[in-house]
């Protein structure tokens, strides 16, 4: 299971940078399942793995078979827990109990699977809903959902996906923070990420949706924008990102959405230029290896530090940087 170390994630004591893509939602089949057949899922996961993608974000609950397939390809899954968050869900005790019951059943279905990255307890509760009920009531209800998930799957990480118009919604109980951010200016994205880091403090920050519609902007423009969106995200210290989306297929509100194309592949599975762009960027995360990075020195001052110096030096050797030295010094007393 992933764990949090400072502003980043770790798996088996190794830094894990989330290099993700969103997956779905898809048109439901005859049984109401909102994922492709397992053969297509396997093909998609294989292509993702070849692209350097190590995580997907879903908006509906994947089957155990899909989680198993993700595990085969080394892909972690951010599982979205769907519920009626775009309605006035706090109007009755019955609706609140039903939501909590759904959440519990979803998590029990996925419980402790090794492919799980985390659960998301919501996605962009509309600003109008937050204003209607007030921040406190929304926060208290999300806290209940958070602890319901923790009770059902204690080792799992839990988050909520926010967006700029409700950035004031403070949820300090979350394990880490997520935002969907669509900005088409590098300077504005860089500035806004600095603001988000100030808001979230010492916990990891993940961008859970970034991207561009290739239908209106063109496929080459989509690749160009994704290149600096991803690089800026990681340069500004985010723990990861999810490109929206893997495919142009998108099912929402009971219908197939045909008037936008955010995918890295089109509806027939053919790759766009943006797929190669994402592959190159993810291959270079967290830094561009071919750059001439300056050498720097880590100076460790130690006085009677025999009990801790080994741990300190071991930590220094884990830095992901191509050229540095460690100097250990003992202060002198005059």
Tokens of 201: 């403090």
pLDDT at 333 over 70: no
* For range 128-145, the mean pLDDT: 97
Strands annotated E in the chain: 3-5, 8-11, 14-16, 18-22, 55-58, 76-80, 116-123, 158-162, 177-180, 205-210, 240-243, 251-252, 255-256, 296-301, 324-329
**CA 12 – CA 132 distance, rounded (Å):** 44
| Contacting residues for 240 by C-beta, under 8 A, at least 6 apart | 9, 17, 18, 19, 20, 55, 204, 206, 207
pLDDT grade for 305, boundaries at 50, 70 and 90? confident
Instruction: Phi first, then psi: give them for residue 200, nearest 5 degrees.
Output: -90, -15
**How large a percentage of the chain has pLDDT more than 90?**
81
**CA 83 – CA 89 distance, rounded (Å):** 9
Give the pairing type, strands 251-252 and 158-162. Answer: unpaired
Say if CB 34 and CB 58 are below 8 A apart.
Answer: no
* For range 37-59, the mean pLDDT: 98
pLDDT grade for 56, boundaries at 50, 70 and 90? very high
The per-residue pLDDT for 314 is: 84
What separation in angstroms does the CA of 9 have from each of 18, 208, 244, 250, 315? 8, 15, 21, 29, 15
The per-residue pLDDT for 327 is: 86
Say if CB 174 and CB 158 are below 8 A apart.
Answer: yes
Residue-wise pLDDT for 97-131, tens only, equals 999 999 999 999 999 999 999 999 999 999 999 99
Residues in the chain: 334
Say if CB 205 and CB 177 are below 8 A apart.
Answer: yes
Predicted TM-score (pTM) of this structure: 0.89
Q: Mean pLDDT over all residues of the chain?
A: 94
* For range 73-96, the mean pLDDT: 95
User: Which residue has tokens 């210290």?
Assistant: 237
**CA 154 – CA 146 distance, rounded (Å):** 11
Residue-wise pLDDT for 215-274, tens only, equals 999 999 999 999 999 999 999 999 999 999 999 999 988 899 999 999 999 999 999 999
**CA 78 – CA 36 distance, rounded (Å):** 17
Q: Phi-psi region for residue 127, left (φ > 0), alpha (ψ -120 to 50) or beta? A: alpha
pLDDT at 53 over 80: yes
Distance of CA 100 to the CA centre of its chain: 23
pLDDT at 332 over 80: no
Residue-wise pLDDT for 141-184, tens only, equals 999 999 999 999 999 999 999 999 999 999 999 999 999 999 99
């Amino acid at each position: 299971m992933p764990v949090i170390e400072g502003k980043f994630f770790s798996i088996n004591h190794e830094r894990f940078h989330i290099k993700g893509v969103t997956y779905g939602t898809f048109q439901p089949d005859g049984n109401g399942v909102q994922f492709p057949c397992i053969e297509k899922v396997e093909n998609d996961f294989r292509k993702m793995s070849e692209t350097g993608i190590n995580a997907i974000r879903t908006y509906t609950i994947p089957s155990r078979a899909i989680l198993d397939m993700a595990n085969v390809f080394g892909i972690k899954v951010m599982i979205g827990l769907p519920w009626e968050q775009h309605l006035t869900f706090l109007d009755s005790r019955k609706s609140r109990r039903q939501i909590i019951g759904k959440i519990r059943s979803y998590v029990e279905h996925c419980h402790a699977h090794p492919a799980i990255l985390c659960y998301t307890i919501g996605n962009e509760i509309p600003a109008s809903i937050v204003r209607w009920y007030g921040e406190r009531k929304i926060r208290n209800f999300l806290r209940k959902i958070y602890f319901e998930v923790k009770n059902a799957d204690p080792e799992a990480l839990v988050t909520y996906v926010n967006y700029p118009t409700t950035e004031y919604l403070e949820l300090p109980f979350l394990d880490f923070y997520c935002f969907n951010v669509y900005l088409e200016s590098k300077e504005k994205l860089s500035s806004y990420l600095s603001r988000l880091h100030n808001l979230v403090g010492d916990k990891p920050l993940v961008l859970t949706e970034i991207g561009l519609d290739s239908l209106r902007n063109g496929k080459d423009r989509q690749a160009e924008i994704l290149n600096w969106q991803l690089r800026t995200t990681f340069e500004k210290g985010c723990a990861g990102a999810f490109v929206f989306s893997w495919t142009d297929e998108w099912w929402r509100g009971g219908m197939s959405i045909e008037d936008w194309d955010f995918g890295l592949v089109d509806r027939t599975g053919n790759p766009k230029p943006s797929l190669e762009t994402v592959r190159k960027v993810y291959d270079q995360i967290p830094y561009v290896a071919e750059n001439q990075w300056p050498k720097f020195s880590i100076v460790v001052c130690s006085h009677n530090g025999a009990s801790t110096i080994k741990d300190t030096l071991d930590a220094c050797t884990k830095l992901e940087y191509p050229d540095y030295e460690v100097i250990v010094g003992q202060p002198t007393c005059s």
